[in-house]
Amino acid sequence: MAAVFLVMLYEYSPLFYIAVVFTCFIVTTGLVLGWFGLEVPVILRNSEEIEFNTRVSKKEMKQVKNPFGLAITNPASASVTNGIALTPDCIEESILTCYWGCDVQELYEALQKHVYVSRISTPQALEDAIYSKYVYREQHFVKKNNKEEKYCQLPSDAKIEDFGIVPRSQYPLVALLTLADEDSQGLYDIISMVTVIHIPDKKYKLSCRILYQYVLLAQGQFHDLKQLFMSANNNTPSLSNSSPGEQSTDRHLLEKAGLAESEVEQYEENSKDCVVCQNGKVNWVLLPCRHTCLCDGCVKYFQQCPMCRQFVHEYFSLCNQKEQDKETQKSEGTVTS
């Protein structure tokens, strides 16, 4: 009876037909636009819209003191045949051990052994972990708070001019920094630092640079140190003056090595203002792009990085509120005095 009644309405009432079509349209529109909270796999709901609707989480950070520092003195003059000059900067007396031609696979297995087997806190511990698979080893004593240049070079009788073609099975140089006094190891969470350095040779002429830096913790973890990209002021020189060919070549080589371009490092001193309000002090690092460009007031309004437009998955602060208050008090005291 009900079916007969509906058929009669459909045949004799155009309003019934219009109502059914309108109801179907409303339901379909609601599903497409997500009005009902359902994740419907339709073309109009793209991955960017879904990612934008996710909440950005704040990453809790733990502040630790790194007793080690290492930099390349003059990268332009470094080569496999001529050697390399390194400048350690350590707050405790340390040992700098350089391994030429260190095996790539054994090095990363050694890092895993630091986590699961035994801690790498001495040069001997690393040598045992990599089964002494290196070409040449040299060691230097580093004084406390002394930036004395250390020169590392292969012996002339080694007769090594390159370490093969890419991909390589050996790193040109791996530098290990450890504390000279074992009693000082209990004072720091970081007990050693491994630095992987690329040095140009005849077969691979990419300029000398630090490829990776790993800090090894006493608790059995290791972390890869990553550079933060600070926002540059308008008065700083732009790297876009170089030719597009040079930029693309250099970026291609860096991407092959899994590295980020260090073009912002030299402008870090001039980059303290938020890129949005131009007033607050930069304090927040956005992940995964690692752009450091927002202040405390602006960070809560962004789910995409204002510099590269990449979606922000996590973020963390460079210093907490107490440290900021101390810096503000110091700056005010300096001005009043």
Give a yes or no: residue 185 inside a domain: yes
Provide mean pLDDT across the span 181-185: 83
Predicted pLDDT at 121 = 93
User: Are residues 37 and 84 both part of a single domain?
Assistant: no
Q: Evaluate if residue 35 carries a pLDDT over 80.
A: no
What's the domain range around 191? 70-224
Q: Evaluate if residue 294 carries a pLDDT over 70.
A: yes
Tokens (6 digits) for 318: 């460079």
Closest to 67 in 3D by CA, of 223, 290, 217: 217
Question: Quick one: which H or E segment has residue 170?
Answer: strand 170-179
Give a yes or no: residue 247 inside a domain: yes
Give a yes or no: residue 113 inside a domain: yes
Give a yes or no: residue 208 inside a domain: yes
User: Are residues 220 and 83 both part of a single domain?
Assistant: yes
User: Are residues 123 and 166 both part of a single domain?
Assistant: yes
Cβ atoms < 10 Å from Cβ of 124? 11
Higher pLDDT, 40 or 111: 111
**Total domain count for the chain?**
3
**Residues of 224-234 as b/e, b for ≥16 C-beta within 10 angstroms?**
eeeebbbbbee
Predicted pLDDT at 2 = 60
Please state which of the ranges 63-77, 229-243, 257-271 shows the lowest mean pLDDT. Answer: 257-271
User: Are residues 278 and 237 both part of a single domain?
Assistant: yes
Give a yes or no: residue 172 inside a domain: yes
Closest to 214 in 3D by CA, of 313, 295, 115, 296: 115
* Spatial separation of the C-alpha atoms in residues 104 and 22, rounded to whole Å: 66
Domain of 129: which CATH number? 2.60.40
* Spatial separation of the C-alpha atoms in residues 203 and 164, rounded to whole Å: 7
pLDDT tens string 266-285:
444 444 789 999 888 999 99
Give a yes or no: residue 13 inside a domain: yes
Provide mean pLDDT across the span 205-231: 90
- Of 179, 198, 224, the one marking the end of a domain is 224
User: Are residues 131 and 213 both part of a single domain?
Assistant: yes
Q: Evaluate if residue 127 carries a pLDDT over 70.
A: yes
User: Are residues 209 and 97 both part of a single domain?
Assistant: yes
Q: Evaluate if residue 32 carries a pLDDT over 50.
A: yes
**Percent share of the chain, pLDDT over 90:** 47
User: Are residues 233 and 219 both part of a single domain?
Assistant: no
User: Are residues 268 and 217 both part of a single domain?
Assistant: no
Give a yes or no: residue 60 inside a domain: no
CB proximity list for 126: less than 8 A, separation 6 or greater: 97, 110, 120, 176, 192, 194
Q: Evaluate if residue 325 carries a pLDDT over 80.
A: no
Q: Evaluate if residue 70 carries a pLDDT over 50.
A: yes
User: Are residues 203 and 289 both part of a single domain?
Assistant: no
Average pLDDT in the chain: 80
Q: Distance between the two ends of the chain, CA-based, in angstroms? A: 95
Give a yes or no: residue 220 inside a domain: yes
User: Are residues 213 and 233 both part of a single domain?
Assistant: no
User: Are residues 83 and 216 both part of a single domain?
Assistant: yes
**Percent share of the chain, pLDDT over 70:** 71
Q: Evaluate if residue 330 carries a pLDDT over 60.
A: no
- Of 224, 242, 257, the one marking the end of a domain is 224
Question: Quick one: which H or E segment has residue 228?
Answer: none
